[in-house]
Amino acid sequence: MKDKGKRLRITLRVLTASMLVALFVFEGRALLGPLTRVFPRACAAVTPSPPAVETTLVPAHVLAQENLCQNVSDGHCERLAEGAHVSGACTDGAMVGDWTVKDAATGALRWSGHYEGGWASGVFQVCADATHCDSFRIDHLHLDGPAVTWERDGDRWIELSGRYERGRRVGRWVRRIDGKGAARSALVHDEQGLGAKEFFYCTNGNLKEIRGRHTLVYDAQNHLLAERGPEGPLRILDGAGSVVRDARPDEETTLCPLP
């Protein structure tokens, strides 16, 4: 009986030890998150720049980015670098979850985004300043979904908004003047993601449309005022659509002054 009891105690100890090892192996990684948020690791000493996105090509896609988890152990990491505060999580040396990079002095967002297995995947924001942030979604290294980008026009900002499908711009993309909200122009894309028509909203109520190498100017009641073909000057039309004369050099601007 003593031998049987001894064997039972040994078996229980082995089982207990095995359970503790299993708990450590399977739950240890889960405990790293909260623990390393209190005592964060140091992110990799690389430039904390956002993913490089190529929007001038079709399809629009992600080019490259420095790995902020290179040679970093699993868990949350932080780093002060180049005037920025970097914060995110690493798994198996790859960026995962939500990452943010803020100005270390002001706390203003420089960029943020989501990663899965080291790849950019999800919603990203890249800020030029506190109020002008490009916003886009990345899926399988292509831009996909709603997007907003900002352009400088002299001393003011112009918002360009629209939607991507697998890196191709689809539908109507509108440019609006920051602070006024007024639409300045719109570009309509075809199924290949190429610009098919462009509209300019004139301050006098007229509308200028560009289709390839053709230009059309309409009044506020959608009557055709002037047109230009692939070659030659802009021509002024009468109410019946007949050519009256060639437009003067400054007349196109007069017909469609832009905001």
| Mean pLDDT of the 199-214 span | 94
Residue 48: C-alpha distances to residues 36, 106, 109, 202 (Å) = 20, 17, 13, 42
With a cut of 90, say whether residue 191 has pLDDT above it: no
DSSP 11: H
Write out the two tokens for 171.
């539908």
Q: What is the mean pLDDT of the chain?
A: 87
With a cut of 50, say whether residue 201 has pLDDT above it: yes
* Per-residue pLDDT at 13: 61
| Mean pLDDT of the 164-172 span | 94
With a cut of 90, say whether residue 252 has pLDDT above it: no
Contacts of 210 (CB under 8 A, 6+ apart): 197, 198, 199, 200, 216
Is the separation of the CB atoms in 151 and 158 below 8 Å? yes
Kindly report the number of other CB atoms within 10 A of residue 51's CB atom: 18
Contacts of 228 (CB under 8 A, 6+ apart): 214, 215, 234, 235
Q: Which of 28-32, 66-70, 121-125 has the lowest mean pLDDT?
A: 28-32
With a cut of 80, say whether residue 213 has pLDDT above it: yes
Kindly report the number of other CB atoms within 10 A of residue 86's CB atom: 22
The predicted-structure confidence for 61-71, as pLDDT tens digits, reads as follows 999 899 999 99
* pLDDT level of residue 29 (50, 70, 90 thresholds): low
* Per-residue pLDDT at 171: 94
Provide the CA 101 distance to its chain's centre, in angstroms.
Answer: 15
* pLDDT level of residue 190 (50, 70, 90 thresholds): confident
| Mean pLDDT of the 217-232 span | 91
Q: What's the predicted TM-score (pTM) here?
A: 0.78
* Per-residue pLDDT at 26: 47
